[in-house]
Each structure stands twice: as structure tokens, then as C-alpha cells.
Structure 1
Amino acid sequence: MILAGIDHRPESEDVAVVADHQVIIRVKTALDDIDKVEIRYADMYLWQEGTPMQTTTMRQDLATQSNQYWSLHVTVPTNRLIYGFRITDRAGKTVGYGDDGFFDDTTDNWTVAGHYFHLPYLHVSDAELPPAWVKQTVWYQIFPERFANGNPQNDPATVAPWGSGPVNRDSFYGGDLQGITAHLDDLQDLGVNGLYLCPIFTSPSNHKYDTVDHFEIDPHFGTKADFKALVDGAHARGMRVMLDAVFNHFGAESPQWLDVVANGQQSRFADWFHVHGWPVGRDSQTGRLNYETFATGAEMPKVNTQNPAVQDYLISVTKYWIEQFGIDAWRFDVADEVDHGFWRRLCGELRAVKPDVYLLGEAWHSSQALVGNGQFNAVMNYPLTTPITALFNHTLSPATYVGKTNLQLSQYRWPNQQVMFNALDTHDTPRLLTTLHGDLAATRAALALLIMLPGSPCLYYGTEVALAGGADPDNRRCMDWQPDATEAAMRDFVKTLIAFRKQHADCLENGTISWQTTATSVTLIRQSARTTLTAHFNLGETALTIADATPKLANGWQDGQLAPQGFMIE
């Protein structure tokens, strides 16, 4: 038995309180080493008074490249719980495992309270269960400057003809809020029910991640009345609205930063930023900035979010757009570079204002420290979605893909995993079609795999009409409102895919996950009490035979044969 492979932590992603008296418990063992894991559990006080322990065999769950997970949904008569694991390896050897480590599997040892992990009380509020509506949401990300020009009267002076190229970092095309509102019926027809807007506040750039005024709509995008019409129109169509907040840094034209530049240490905003020398600027010897920024951009000075005055200001911003306009969610840019204390305060105050608000942090890596514990419901789940494109580009084998994916599916408590923000491309990445070298079949298969996974999937605007684009800024091309036949067919496919996701919402939100792989194929099985969905993906160079299948959704399927880069869900 490989003891070094066994691990469990009570106050972590290994334990998820999902409802009153209900908890999901998970333990990790070495891969291909353990035959069975049993959990022994009880209310400690009742146990000490003579009520016997309950023993249940745990379910063999996901396997990563190095570990096997075991899980169990436990219902307890009270909200108090102690538990330990009885682990049996493939040679039949057993061991007990609990709060003080490993112990011999003897009757006497199981009577020692100190051997058990403790959950003194299952506080449902402490679980911070994410809003239920997010599990049923398919997001649609919009880069407002490139989606649609609804009011040419507010165009920038340097506006270029819609769709002309190449796209440069300082290009303007005139996209605005009225343009989005004018296409709400199109988005409703597509089936999306969540709109994620990149920043819309006053800013000199086209991307608006260098905010000048957090309380004002950028005039090139329109007015607050335009935004209210957009939110009201979205809500009338059953769509939620998420705004993008940039609280790691301000724009260099923000009044706070301009005051610091003008008044130096005497500025009342001097401690709103991380300044290490005066006057602010570049060191004459090294040429380096004497203040901290986002990345190395001089135009985005980093904000000191440990300053209570800064915290008050930023929290007032987020409350304003919820209270005055009824938005449903916030996405926080560069969340992993902001201190946790501020996030806990902000998230707590927003939940007091709107209990079912969805709070999402941007991070490009596994980020357990940002999720739960008073902070975000979820993060942008790049570690889960990036391997999908590698799989279809044949740079990951099926077995390696499954191992890496299962690792990410084990990083967070299950309630949070159900609302992770899953996108195959965004304004920060090359577009999916370009990443997959223009292969429409692979693009469709990748989208199908995305919607089969736990989490809240997101489409980047234009994906539904096969919009291509390389790295920023090419990934921010104008939306194509006159698709050709091939692009229109792609839209029909995406519409069907979203409808399939909604039709099988219960299974795809709550069902168990299992995999089968060969050298050239991946099969994903999602199973709930009522439904089993099996998705086959052909990654080989020849057709794959699947006998006795009844497809619910497919691409590249004919007469029992699945074409290369094809998929079929039965």
C-alpha cells in the first residue's frame, strides 16, 4: 500500500456541505493501488453515548495521472460529524486513516476519537452554495466595441469601417450598447441565457481595461439609459447580465492617478497606489517605473486594495451597478493579484445586497485559494478547457487528456465545480477555430465536449458563425452579421448544442463522470438517476465503428461510423 498517495483535508475541496445534513466527502489514494475505501462516520456525541458508527463503501471516482479519488454523498441525522477511512489495497492489506494519520485496523483503534476527522457542525451558510441559476446558464461573452454598432452618432472620430482589417491595438469600429440591445432577439434565438460584457466604463482604449471612471458608461458605448435598456431587455428574455470590473489597476487617465502625478506625496490618493519613489515615473538610471502596474504597462497603475478608502470606493462601485441597474453578476479582472482580505469583504457585502449574485474571478491557473471561504463562487476555468484544444490538436493523448481533466475536476468543491466558468476562447486567447487550424469538425467536437463537462459554459461572440482570429488584437475582430452558408450552418449547430445542454440540464449539472479511452478515442459518460449520456469522440485518422448506437446529437456520424474529428452523443 502506497501510504504517500493517500490524502484528505477536512477544510478543503475534499469536503463540500451541499445541504442541511448532507455533505460530499472525498479522499485521494495512489493510482492502481487501492481496491476499496470505506468510510466510518457518526455524530461524535451520539457515538459516545452508544450509537454505533455507520460504515459505507465509497464510490471509485475520478482518476488523474497519479491518483485515484473516492467519494461519497453522506446524509447524517444531525449536523455534527466525525469520520475515518478504512482502506484496503489490492493485496488485501487494510489500514485506518484519520485526523492523526494512519493507524492499525483494529477494533480498539476505531474506538479512539482522536483517530477521526472532525466536522464539528455542518453550517450550510458556511458552504456558500453558489446561486442555482448559474448551473443552468450558457454564457455569451461580448467585447462591446466589436459586437454591433447600434448608434453611429456616438462613434469615435477614428472609427474604421465595420469588419475592415487588420485589427490593430488602437482600432475602433463603433460597437456600442445599442448594438447589443438590437441583437438580443438573435441571442435569445441562439439559446444563450447569460451575457458577459467586457468593461463598459469610461476609458480611452477600445478594450476598456484601463478604467477612468467606474461610475460612468464610456460615451462611445452610449449612456446609462442605453445600459438600462440593455439590462431590462436581457432580463425580459430570461438572460442574466455580468459586468467586468478591473480592480487590480486603474487607467493612467483616472482622476485619482492624475492627482498623484500632479501632487506627488501630497496627493490625497498617494496611498491608493503602490508608489516606491517620487515623483512618479521612470528611474533615470534604470528606466524602470517607480510604481507598480498591471504587468509592465505604465498606463495601468496597480491599486492598493489593502487601503480601506480604496476598498470603500471599489465596493461602492459594485453595489451601484447592482442596485441601480439590477445586474446579476460580476467578473473581476486579474483577481489572483488582489489580496484575499479585500475579496472577502467585497463578496460579503455584495451577497448582503443581492444574495444570488454570481461572483467570478479571473485566474489562469488552479485557484482554490480564491474560491469559497468568503470569496468567489468560481474562477475562469482555463486549466480545464485548455486541454480540450490540445486533445483535438493531437498534442495530448486521450489518456493524458482524461488524467489532466480529472485533476482539474477535483480541484474545487462540487457545488463550485458546477458553476465554474468554462470557455474555449476569450478576448485574451486566440479564437477556437484558429487554435484548431480552421478545422470546423474539430471545432464542433470541442464545443460538444465542453457542454458535456460540469460547469457553466461560455461562447465567445462570433464562435457561432465560425469567426477566426489569432492572438490579441486579432481575436477581437468585428462580429460577422452576414454569414455565408458554412457559417450559418455553424450557427445552427451551436443553437442545437445549446438546446441539447438545456434539455439534459439535470444530468449535465449533477450527473457522475466516467471515461473510457483508446489510443484514438475518448468516451465521456455522464449519468444521473434518470439519464445516461455517452459522448464518443474520434481522434483517429480512420472512421470509428460504434455498434447499436442511437445518436441524440452528432457530427460526422453515418450508418454506425464516426468520422475522424467527429463526435456522437447517445
Structure 2
Amino acid sequence: EDSREWLDGSQFDGVMNYLFTAPTIAFTAGDRVVMEYVEKQSYEPYPALDAPGYAAKIEHLLQLYPWEIQLTQLNLLDSHDTARLLSIAGGGKESPQAEAEESVKLATLLLLTFPGAPSIYYGDEVSLAGAVDPDCRRGFPPEVEWNREVLDYHRQLIALRHGHPALRTGNYQVLLAEGMVYIFARQLATESVIVAVNAGTTTEKVSFKVAELLSQPSQMLYGNSEAVWNIAEDSNYLTLQLPPRSGCILG
């Protein structure tokens, strides 16, 4: 919910940022969300959002608080008060496990490239499921049960956030929001980083004009998408081919 009354400089420096949580789940999990786990919660990660709908929610959030507060917000995908995202996305229930894990992977990419302090609820990094409280507070699983692929991409994204200051404190600019494709840039000093997500179920090829970036990032830091720059005197165009249910980072 809108927390401006708590963030006026006289009380808190930041709050649990469910205004990020809800649209991020609604975009990445969409209609896969298991309603019984969320319909009695106040943060409402539904109905499903397409990329323009997600962009509108994120831009509203970024305009809601001063930038200094955005950088101290506790961004999260789930917590001790909610069902775990893997279960919300249908893991082990309505959706096949692989589909639910795709939703978690996309949401984690958005979490770890967003301004603020990312919070990973214990066990999410090894694919721990859990319904509403108290099931969301299960014990940490033994190592033999860890999902190593999930752990690896968490480590990779955390390392990229540590290694690229723009992903921590750089400004945030939406570059494209079309269909189920959402692309934005983080910029700081001379560094630009582009993050792209295709939350849809088909491969998407998008070409768009990129203006006012500090650089033309072309190295694929994360993901396996294809990127081609067309640089002209009066405009720069970037073409991306994004596999279904995937994301990438260019730096």
C-alpha cells in the first residue's frame, strides 16, 4: 500500500515494498497465480498484467516516493507473511513445477535489477515451496533437496548487482513495454545496463529506438538472447530476440 505517511522523514527510512511485489508477480506469473494463496492478502498480485500494465504500475511506484527513499525500500517477492512465490505461481499444484520455476526466475531477475534493497526470503534460492502462514515458514531443506539451477542463477544475479553500480543506484528508465515484453535501463555515471524480460510463451523479436543512454551495452551478462545495435547519426536502434519466458541483461 501507499506508505508515504510512514516515509515522511520522521518515522521510517523504508518499508516492505509490496507495491513492487504485487505487479511483479502479476506480470511474471500472470494467470498461473493460485488465488487461494493471495485473495485474502492486502497486496493483491492479480489480475494478470501485460508489459504495458506492469510498466504503468512500476512508473507509478517510482513517482510515489523521493529517489532517496526508493533506494532504501525493502523489495521482496514473498515473506513470512505470505505464501512463497513458487507456490503462488502454481508449483506442485495447478501449474507444472517447471512453469512455476520460470515465473520465479523472471521475478527474481526483476527483483535484483530494481532500485532498493532486494530481499530473498530464506529457501527461495533453492526452490523451497510453502503455502500461507505457517506453511511458508518451513525449515530450510537439506542440501540434497536443493535445486542447484535456481541457486546458480540467484548467485549469478547477485554477483551482477554487486559488480555493476548502475544496477544498485542508477536511475531507472523504461525503454519498451509491448505485449509481454518489458525492457528498461539502469544508468549511473558512464554505465548503462539494459534488462529485458519476455514473460510470454512465444519467442519475441523487438526493435526499438534507444535515446539518451550513456552507452550502447552489447555484452550479454545474463541470459541467452540475441542483441544487435543499429547505430546511426540521428538515432540508435536495438533489436532483441527473446526466447519465451526468459530474460537477459546487457552491459
TM class by shorter chain equals: 0.7 to 0.9
Q: Which residue of 2 aligns with 1:567?
A: 247
TM-score (norm 2): 0.75
Aligned pairs (5 A) from 1:143-158: none
Cα shift at 1:507: 4.4
Q: Which residue of 2 aligns with 1:399?
A: 52
* Matched-pair contact (CA < 8 Å) for 2:52–2:178: yes
User: What amino acid sits opposite 2:19 in the alignment?
Assistant: P
3-state SS of 2:185 partner: strand
- Are the structure 2 counterparts of residues 508 and 430 from structure 1 closer, same or farther at C-alpha, using a change threshold of 3 Å? same
User: What amino acid sits opposite 1:565 in the alignment?
Assistant: R
- Are the structure 2 counterparts of residues 507 and 479 from structure 1 closer, same or farther at C-alpha, using a change threshold of 3 Å? closer
* Matched-pair contact (CA < 8 Å) for 1:384–1:422: yes
Residue of structure 2 aligned with 1:545, choices 197, 202, 205: 205
Q: Which residue of 1 aligns with 2:43?
A: none
TM-score (norm 1): 0.34
Residue 200 (structure 2) pairs with residue 535 (structure 1) = no
- Are the structure 2 counterparts of residues 483 and 389 from structure 1 closer, same or farther at C-alpha, using a change threshold of 3 Å? farther
Aligned pairs (5 A) from 1:280-429: 365-394=1-30, 395-429=48-82
* Matched-pair contact (CA < 8 Å) for 2:166–2:193: no
* Matched-pair contact (CA < 8 Å) for 2:20–2:76: no
Residue 85 (structure 2) pairs with residue 432 (structure 1) = yes
Cα shift at 1:454: 0.9
Gap regions ≥5 residues in structure 2: 31-47, 92-99, 208-216, 228-240
Residue of structure 2 aligned with 1:518, choices 171, 175, 178: 178
Residue of structure 2 aligned with 1:446, choices 103, 107, 114: 107
* Matched-pair contact (CA < 8 Å) for 1:507–1:531: no
* Matched-pair contact (CA < 8 Å) for 2:166–2:192: no
Cα shift at 1:510: 2.9
Cα shift at 1:373: 3.0
Paired with 1:551 and 1:464, the residues of 2 have a C-alpha distance of 23
Paired with 1:541 and 1:453, the residues of 2 have a C-alpha distance of 24
Paired with 2:14 and 2:170, the residues of 1 have a C-alpha distance of 17
Cα shift at 1:383: 1.2
* Matched-pair contact (CA < 8 Å) for 1:507–1:532: no
Aligned pairs (5 A) from 1:265-284: none
Paired with 1:514 and 1:492, the residues of 2 have a C-alpha distance of 27
Cα shift at 1:375: 1.1
Cα shift at 1:559: 5.6
Question: Any idea what the Cα deviations from partners look like across 1:137-170, whole Å, max 9, x if unmatched?
Answer: xxxxxxxxxxxxxxxxxxxxxxxxxxxxxxxxxx
User: What amino acid sits opposite 2:181 in the alignment?
Assistant: S
- Are the structure 2 counterparts of residues 414 and 404 from structure 1 closer, same or farther at C-alpha, using a change threshold of 3 Å? same
Aligned residues: 203
Q: Which residue of 1 aligns with 2:155?
A: 495
Percent identical among aligned pairs is: 31
Cα shift at 1:531: 1.1
Residue 133 (structure 2) pairs with residue 472 (structure 1) = yes
Q: Which residue of 2 aligns with 1:34?
A: none
User: What amino acid sits opposite 2:73 in the alignment?
Assistant: M
User: What amino acid sits opposite 2:219 in the alignment?
Assistant: T
User: What amino acid sits opposite 1:536 in the alignment?
Assistant: A
User: What amino acid sits opposite 2:85 in the alignment?
Assistant: L
Aligned pairs (5 A) from 1:109-188: none
Paired with 2:19 and 2:167, the residues of 1 have a C-alpha distance of 23
* Matched-pair contact (CA < 8 Å) for 2:83–2:132: yes
Q: Which residue of 1 aligns with 2:119?
A: 458
3-state SS of 2:112 partner: helix
Paired with 1:430 and 1:484, the residues of 2 have a C-alpha distance of 20
* Matched-pair contact (CA < 8 Å) for 2:112–2:118: yes
Cα shift at 1:393: 2.1
Name segments (4+ residues, structure 1) moved above 4 Å. Answer: 546-549, 558-561
Q: Which residue of 1 aligns with 2:39?
A: none
* Matched-pair contact (CA < 8 Å) for 2:55–2:174: no
* Matched-pair contact (CA < 8 Å) for 1:426–1:460: yes
Paired with 2:11 and 2:106, the residues of 1 have a C-alpha distance of 34
- Are the structure 2 counterparts of residues 559 and 516 from structure 1 closer, same or farther at C-alpha, using a change threshold of 3 Å? closer
Paired with 1:559 and 1:369, the residues of 2 have a C-alpha distance of 44
- Are the structure 2 counterparts of residues 537 and 506 from structure 1 closer, same or farther at C-alpha, using a change threshold of 3 Å? closer
Question: Any idea what the Cα deviations from partners look like across 1:503-541, whole Å, max 9, x if unmatched?
Answer: 112443132422311112111111222111111111222
* Matched-pair contact (CA < 8 Å) for 2:115–2:167: no
Paired with 1:540 and 1:512, the residues of 2 have a C-alpha distance of 23
3-state SS of 2:24 partner: helix
Aligned pairs (5 A) from 1:227-242: none
3-state SS of 2:174 partner: strand
* Matched-pair contact (CA < 8 Å) for 2:198–2:204: yes
* Matched-pair contact (CA < 8 Å) for 1:514–1:526: no
User: What amino acid sits opposite 2:222 in the alignment?
Assistant: L
Cα shift at 1:453: 1.2
Paired with 1:483 and 1:444, the residues of 2 have a C-alpha distance of 21
* Matched-pair contact (CA < 8 Å) for 1:512–1:528: no
Paired with 1:495 and 1:421, the residues of 2 have a C-alpha distance of 19
* Matched-pair contact (CA < 8 Å) for 1:427–1:472: yes
Aligned pairs (5 A) from 1:196-207: none
Paired with 1:451 and 1:513, the residues of 2 have a C-alpha distance of 16
